[in-house]
Amino acid sequence: MKPEIILALDVDSLERAKYFVNKLYPAVKIFKVGSQLFTACGPKVIDILNKKGASVFLDLKFFDIPNTIAHAVRNAIRLKVKMMTLHILGDEEMIKAAVSAARDESKRLKIKKPLLIGVTVLTSKEARSSDVLTLARIGIECGLDGIVCSAREAKFLRQAIKKKFLIVTPGIRPKGAGKNDQRRTATVREAIQSGSNFLVVGRPILEAREPLIKAKEILGDIHGRRN
């Protein structure tokens, strides 16, 4: 599959979220709804994205006892999201409960099962590749569709894990841009060359004077239309 961009809707209000969705869709087709926006607006923002025709990456990083996570996953599926995250550190029992709930609820609703993506180590922190590999293996063996990691570990994981799995890479920054609070950042080209499937971009677009122009520049990088 060709890499895709995900716009991180890390804003504080429904009005601000609508502004960026209306401005960027359909150039950008997938939007990340994380803790910041979800706690401000709740499921309503997901409904707005679905009605627009956009896809939702629900990034709430579920981490709790297996029964609670199973119910959370079922509720997320009813919201019709494309992807969702959970922390692999929650352990194997929690992950398997999430995978089982996703499969059963999707079958019950007769809809396509969303992608379950496991968080390894946040890109705001330093990490050893061996630690990320250990977590990635646990998640994939337990049935996750993919993992979240920086471009720094992506190539290593592709070589070390022979199964098919997706890689979501946050912390994407244009060349020369500041890292902000991210530690393990990468350019679009670095992430793609490392084997990332989904590139999560937030502040470089959200803070740009012309968000759509910046988004199209990044899309051009992804599709090889720029040097």
Please give the positions annotated as active site: 59, 61, 64
Residue 70 CA to residue 66 CA, distance in Å, equals 6
Q: How far apart are CA 163 and CA 145, in angstroms?
A: 10
**Cα separation, 186 vs 206, whole angstroms:** 18
217 within 8 A of 5, measured Cβ to Cβ: no
φ, ψ for residue 48, nearest 5 deg: -65, -45
Round to whole Å and give the CA distance between 84 and 116: 5
Q: What is the DSSP letter of 88?
A: G
Binding residues, by number, are 10, 32, 59-68, 123, 173, 182, 202-203
Mark the binding-site residues for substrate, compressed into ranges.
10, 32, 59-68, 123, 173, 182, 202-203
* Beta strand pairing call for 198-201 and 166-169: parallel
